[in-house]
């Protein structure tokens, strides 16, 4: 028996019995829950596997690794069944389900999350999407003043950067966070996208958003949540040298266009014919169709502002902001009152879902439950607790910081 360190959340509930991490592809319906060791190290699960194909189409803070989803899909679901993620985030559950031939449905109140999930899971004519992505990129480049680039490559040292015309927008956020030339390029791309007859508009919006994230005048080491625009040279802790504020976006539009085309081609090679549906809706109130089970990583109470994380996308793309509908919003804090409300609303979500599931169907809920909230959530929801697998996390896609523990709750619908 492998014992967890003292103080690890959920340590009293379960401990893995294997002597090596569980390879996701080796899991079968007969694999005992107690035998799952999901504490992958870097050498067990390298970054290239954690971020394969469209999983890294756009940065997203705090998402779980696809192999964790794969383990439970292989254990509990078969091709042709349907799995639901009521807080689909960046779409990890949806993509992994599709790879394994399982139908998937996702809900999210974040307009950006829905945009990203739909772009990741859409079916593409690869020749057409390549023509469209390169066409809008080339038109954006051609719209630049001739003296601002040389040989098709943006000249970041050009003194003309300081003389770039003012961007045509009154948006305070955009004017604050982008150098004039960078903002002009982003707005040109957006204008071409709005006016053009493009089939794959969601994917082009994701390319634009990803480029806008990198083109902000933010320190390179603060891209997740920059505190203020960086308008002067600074010492960069990420690169261990002096860096300069980003002054153009065209290089990012080019880089991410190429990367995006490669990633959707990679996913196209492994995806199945299973369907994926993504709903921009509050799962507390939206109509629910029958499903066979759930795999989700819910938002944490008072921790991450999922809208502010992608503020640049909301401002540039004009996305609808529905943060007031979040469960456990960061702005609400983590007081006892906030925690109790979080428990009640989460329990309501799982009670609603249980009504459209077969009796005994599994719900897999992944949470860093440091506050010990999920035992009460399970009780309020009326689900049966089958077990808990605790995993040590020393790597997490889109998230930096110290190691931590998270619990994988396995519940059954009553």
What is the enclosing helix (H) or strand (E) of 381? helix 374-381
Is there a domain that residue 131 lies in?
yes
Is there a domain that residue 17 lies in?
no
Tell me if residue 396 falls in helix, strand or coil: strand
Boundary of a domain, candidates 241, 265, 289: 265
Only one residue has tokens 């705090």, namely 62
Lowest-pLDDT choice from 9-23, 216-230, 301-315, 363-377: 9-23
| Residue-averaged pLDDT of the chain | 88
pLDDT value for 166: 46
Residues 326 and 376 occupy one common structural domain = yes
Boundary of a domain, candidates 265, 295, 326: 265
Only one residue has tokens 């689909």, namely 88
Is there a domain that residue 237 lies in?
yes
Residues 50 and 158 occupy one common structural domain = no
Token duo for residue 61: 């803070």
Instruction: Note whether 122 and 200 are within 8 A (CB).
Output: yes
List, in order, residues 6 or more apart from 131 with CB less than 8 Å away.
none
Residues 397 and 285 occupy one common structural domain = yes
Token duo for residue 311: 């503020």
Across 221-225, 255-259, 338-342, the highest mean pLDDT is recorded for 255-259
- pLDDT(376) > 50: yes
Is there a domain that residue 321 lies in?
yes
pLDDT band at 19 (very low <50, low <70, confident <90, very high): low
Residues 204 and 228 occupy one common structural domain = yes
Domain count of the fold of the chain = 2
pLDDT value for 401: 53
Residues 260 and 287 occupy one common structural domain = no
List, in order, residues 6 or more apart from 147 with CB less than 8 Å away.
158, 160
pLDDT value for 165: 52
Is there a domain that residue 158 lies in?
yes
Q: 153 - beta bridge partners?
A: 150
Residues 341 and 325 occupy one common structural domain = yes
**Domain assignment of residue 248, given as a range:** 126-265
Instruction: Note whether 291 and 356 are within 8 A (CB).
Output: yes
Is there a domain that residue 140 lies in?
yes
Lowest-pLDDT choice from 43-47, 87-91, 246-250, 366-370: 43-47
Dist CA 97 CA 293 (whole Å):
12
Best CA proximity match to 339, nearest among 384, 306, 295, 369: 369
**347-to-16, 328, 367, 388 alpha-carbon distances in Å:** 27, 13, 14, 17
Residues 162 and 233 occupy one common structural domain = yes
CATH code for the domain of 60: 3.40.50.150
Residues 257 and 291 occupy one common structural domain = no
Is there a domain that residue 221 lies in?
yes
**What integer is the mean pLDDT of 75-93?**
97
Residues 353 and 315 occupy one common structural domain = yes
Dist CA 106 CA 264 (whole Å):
20
- DSSP, res 383: -
Total residue length of the chain? 414
pTM: 0.88
Residues 107 and 200 occupy one common structural domain = no
- pLDDT(106) > 80: yes
Is there a domain that residue 149 lies in?
yes
Instruction: Note whether 323 and 307 are within 8 A (CB).
Output: yes
Residues 231 and 346 occupy one common structural domain = no
**29-to-21, 23, 36 alpha-carbon distances in Å:** 17, 14, 12
Q: What does 161-208 look like in DSSP terms, one character per residue?
A: GGGPPPPS---HHHHHHS-HHHHHHHHHHHHHHHHS--S-HHHHHHHH
Residues 261 and 333 occupy one common structural domain = no
pLDDT value for 395: 55
pLDDT band at 162 (very low <50, low <70, confident <90, very high): very low
pLDDT band at 237 (very low <50, low <70, confident <90, very high): confident
**What integer is the mean pLDDT of 181-188?**
96
pLDDT value for 381: 98
Boundary of a domain, candidates 265, 291, 315: 265
Dist CA 319 CA 312 (whole Å):
10
pLDDT value for 35: 92
């Amino acid at each position: 028996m492998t014992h967890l360190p003292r103080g690890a959340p959920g340590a009293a509930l379960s401990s893995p019995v294997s002597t090596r991490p569980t390879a996701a592809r080796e899991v079968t319906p007969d694999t005992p829950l107690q035998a799952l060791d999901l504490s992958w190290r870097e050498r067990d699960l390298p970054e290239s596997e954690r971020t394969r194909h469209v999983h890294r189409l756009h940065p997203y803070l705090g998402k779980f690794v696809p192999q964790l989803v794969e383990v439970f899909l292989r254990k509990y679901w078969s091709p042709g069944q349907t799995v639901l993620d009521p807080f689909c985030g960046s779409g990890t559950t949806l993509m992994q389900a599709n790879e394994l031939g399982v139908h998937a449905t996702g809900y999210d109140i974040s307009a950006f999350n829905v945009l990203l999930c739909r772009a990741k899971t859409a079916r593409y004519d690869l020749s057409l999407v390549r023509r469209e992505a390169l066409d809008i990129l080339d038109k954006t480049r051609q719209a630049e003043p001739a003296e601002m680039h040389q040989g098709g490559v943006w000249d970041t040292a050009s003194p003309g950067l300081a003389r770039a015309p003012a961007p045509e927008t009154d948006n305070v956020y955009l004017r604050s966070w982008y150098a004039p030339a960078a903002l002009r390029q982003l707005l040109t791309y957006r204008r071409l996208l709005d006016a053009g007859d493009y089939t794959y508009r969601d994917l082009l919006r994701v390319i634009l958003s990803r480029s806008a994230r990198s083109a902000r005048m933010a320190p390179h080491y603060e891209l997740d949540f920059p505190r203020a625009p960086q308008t002067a040279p600074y010492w960069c802790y990420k690169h261990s040298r002096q860096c300069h504020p980003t002054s153009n976006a065209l290089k990012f539009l080019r880089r991410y266009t190429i990367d995006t085309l490669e990633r959707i081609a990679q996913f196209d090679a492994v995806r199945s014919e299973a369907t994926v549906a993504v709903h921009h809706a509050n799962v507390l109130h939206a109509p629910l169709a029958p499903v066979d089970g759930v795999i989700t990583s819910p938002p944490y109470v008072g921790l991450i502002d999922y809208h502010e994380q992608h503020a640049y996308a909301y401002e540039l793309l004009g996305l609808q902001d529905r943060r007031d509908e979040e469960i456990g919003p960061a702005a609400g804090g983590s007081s006892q009152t906030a925690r109790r409300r979080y428990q009640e609303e989460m329990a309501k979500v799982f009670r609603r879902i249980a009504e459209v599931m077969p009796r005994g169907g599994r719900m897999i809920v992944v949470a860093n439950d440091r506050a010990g909230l999920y035992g009460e959530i399970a009780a309020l929801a009326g689900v049966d607790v089958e077990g808990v697998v605790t995993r040590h996390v020393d790597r997490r896609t889109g998230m930096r910081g110290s190691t931590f523990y998270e619990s994988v709750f396995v519940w059954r619908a009553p």
